[in-house]
Structure 1
Amino acid sequence: MGEAISTSEVLSATGVDLSYGSTLAVRDAHLSLTRGEIAAITGASGSGKSSLLYCLAGVLPPARGQVRFEGRAYDQLDDEDISALRRERFGFVFQYGELLPELTIEENTALPLRLAGQRKRPALEAAGEVLDRLGMADLRQRRPSQVSGGQSQRVAVARALVHRPAVVFADEPTGSLDSANAATVLQEFLGLARSQGTAVLLVTHDPSVAARADRRYTMADGVLESKGRAS
């Protein structure tokens, strides 16, 4: 009898290499992420952690090995399927928020739902609910230029989670914030993700951020090493 596949595993990498020309940025990476789990990859700048994150998100194709989402390998999907995954099943949080300046806070938050084809009114209602959970409901009609850095990053978190994705990929999600704002935004981000059953894969250079994860990895010179689950 073959090995049973865990029904709770949402994302996995097996023997993944990633190259930029002749430079091998990621070497033989193995990773597993289950539903609702928070996993962190730490490492110095240039260690390959962001490259691996974007490979797992289907943005960069591996040179070798396999990435699977809900048991299905990316190399079995065409470009349209991968784009649909990123749009509908994944969420993203970046270091500087990447909000669209011409849209209101509410419209920025609703963007994933609108891109997935949801009508404007229910999309804005869903956005308002998530913003309310993050203490941002009274700012929904402001533009990104009218809110603080910490507030902008809360909006980025709301946008990443509004469509209840299976996985959120977070690249230095609190790296642009001071320590007090970073701790608050991280707590709100991970708390909301856990309540929705959304898995989070985050890369960070900050050990205090990684300490909030259920499972930890380190990366150096393209080599990923599992530190196991938090005790």
Structure 2
Amino acid sequence: MDAILCAEGVDLFYGAHQAVSSADFALQSGEVAAIMGSSGSGKSSLLYCLAGVLAPTCGSVSFDGIAFATLDDDELSTLRRERFGFVFQYGELLPELTAEENAALPLRLAGQRKAPALAAAGEVLGRLGMTDLLQRRTSQLSGGQSQRVAVARALVHRPAVVFADEPTGALDSANAAAVLEEFLRLARDQGTAVVIVTHDAAVASHADARYTMTDGILAREGAS
């Protein structure tokens, strides 16, 4: 089966500093991959290259056979908005909006009307145990609840790939385990592929494929 997301020989420099060195990566539809590494190892920089947020200095990244380098800025933005989802360590929610409104944002940005967008968001939030909190502003939610909203927002438009940067890093162990389990269950139900960047071996243990990043060098666990 061809990879839906593929990176070949990716280098990324910040000035004279090389954050990513000759990284190769492949992700199948429905697969969960974890990239482990300590702070400063380059794992988040690689994630942003894989997501089309940063352009690599050398090498190529492609999605569904289309190289990011062949797309203009508008085309790449549309790809990220419509086919990708994002979960960040601190949620990055809009505090003036309700949980339901935050989760519905990808659908609203894609032009869907408010009522069906909110209904779809409410359905995903319900599967994440948030039915009673749909109308609560996210500024009034706990850390675990906020991260569930972030997960719903990432998955509501049924993206092909979700990129998660330390998605449970701001949570205690109990909340982290619960959010991660629900996130991956829902992603797998939808056939969504997931790339998780983490420093936590317990998080990485849920992945189908595990990579380690050390000083910008990516290695797949079990590869010869």
Pick the aligned partner of 1:141 from 128, 135, 153: 135
* CA-CA distance at 1:189 after TM superposition: 0.2
Name the structure 1 match of 2:100.
106
Aligned positions of 1:119-158 closer than 5 A: 119-158=113-152
* CA-CA distance at 1:99 after TM superposition: 0.6
**TM-score (norm: length of structure 2):** 0.98
Is 1:26 paired with 2:26? no
The amino acid of 1:209's aligned partner reads V
CA contact 1:105–1:140 (8 Å) conserved in 2 = yes
Is 1:159 paired with 2:146? no
Change (3 A) 1:164 1:228: farther
Name the structure 1 match of 2:64.
70
Pick the aligned partner of 2:185 from 182, 191, 212: 191
Q: CA RMSD in A?
A: 0.9
Name the structure 2 match of 1:3.
none
**TM-score (norm: length of structure 1):** 0.95
Pick the aligned partner of 1:48 from 42, 59, 80: 42
| Structure 1 unmatched runs, 5+ | 1-5
Counterparts of 1:122 and 1:137 in 2: how far apart (Å)? 16
The amino acid of 2:105's aligned partner reads L
Name the structure 2 match of 1:172.
166
CA contact 1:37–1:200 (8 Å) conserved in 2 = yes
CA contact 1:215–1:228 (8 Å) conserved in 2 = no
The amino acid of 2:211's aligned partner reads Y
Is 1:88 paired with 2:70? no
Counterparts of 1:174 and 1:84 in 2: how far apart (Å)? 27
Counterparts of 1:65 and 1:158 in 2: how far apart (Å)? 33
Deviation string 1:157-203 (CA, Å, 9 cap, x unpaired) is 00000000000000000000000000000000000000000000010
Counterparts of 2:213 and 2:100 in 1: how far apart (Å)? 37
Number of corresponding residues: 223
SS at match of 1:61: coil
SS at match of 2:90: coil
Name the structure 1 match of 2:202.
208
* CA-CA distance at 1:228 after TM superposition: 4.3
CA contact 2:154–2:162 (8 Å) conserved in 1 = yes
CA contact 2:87–2:165 (8 Å) conserved in 1 = yes
The amino acid of 1:141's aligned partner reads Q
SS at match of 2:175: helix
Sequence identity of aligned pairs in percent?
73
Counterparts of 1:70 and 1:212 in 2: how far apart (Å)? 25
The amino acid of 2:29's aligned partner reads R
Q: Which runs of 4+ in 1 moved over 2 A?
A: none
